[in-house]
Amino acid sequence: MMNIKDEMPKEGNKVTWEDDGCFVCGRANTIGLKLDFEVDKEKNTSKSEVVFTREYQGWDKVVHGGILAAVLDDAMAYALMSLENLAITTRMTVTYRKPVMIGEKLYLEGSVVKLKSRLATTRAAGYTIENDEKVIKVEAEGTFYLDHPTKRG
């Protein structure tokens, strides 16, 4: 696993990220989460973890669903960075299985499922560890438009 953010180009055909202002992963975003993602180029996966504070709650003591969607979106995008490609989310479906509570550690994993020229299908999951068991709390599937075509797939 490696941190790919410093290796990626800061400008693509469709998108740029030169100002590092992403809400989820950007270091320059003063109100952002500043998550670090590790990427496995051989498995086309990403991993991160986060503990949400009260600022990110919806219902009392429960993390807001929109915030969970945002971190899953980045987990999928970082999995695509394993292909050395920037990507734009075109569709995302989120399934909320159990509440994610404020203060609990949420592990994030993203993966590339299918590639076809400029379109990629991805998945991500957020889970906790309870009694030594992985408990999936939230999952997503996404379709991304790749910044440049890929021959892998």
pLDDT of res. 46: 96
Write down how long the chain is. 153
**Domain 38-146 part of CATH 3.40.50.150:** no
Q: How many CA atoms are closer than 13 Å to the CA of 30, on its beta-carbon side? A: 0
pLDDT of res. 148: 78
Tell me how far apart the alpha carbons of residues 45 and 114 are, in angstroms, rounded to a whole number: 12
Tell me how far apart the alpha carbons of residues 92 and 70 are, in angstroms, rounded to a whole number: 10
Q: Where are the domains of the chain?
A: 38-146
Q: Return per-residue pLDDT of the chain as tens, 153 residues.
A: 445 656 655 556 656 656 677 766 767 778 777 778 899 999 999 999 999 999 999 999 999 999 999 999 999 999 998 988 889 999 999 999 999 999 999 999 999 999 998 899 999 999 999 999 999 999 999 999 998 777 555
pLDDT of res. 17: 59
pLDDT of res. 1: 46
pLDDT of res. 61: 97
pLDDT of res. 29: 75
> CA 4: distance to chain centroid?
13
Sign of CA dihedral 3, 5, 45, 94: positive
pLDDT of res. 136: 98
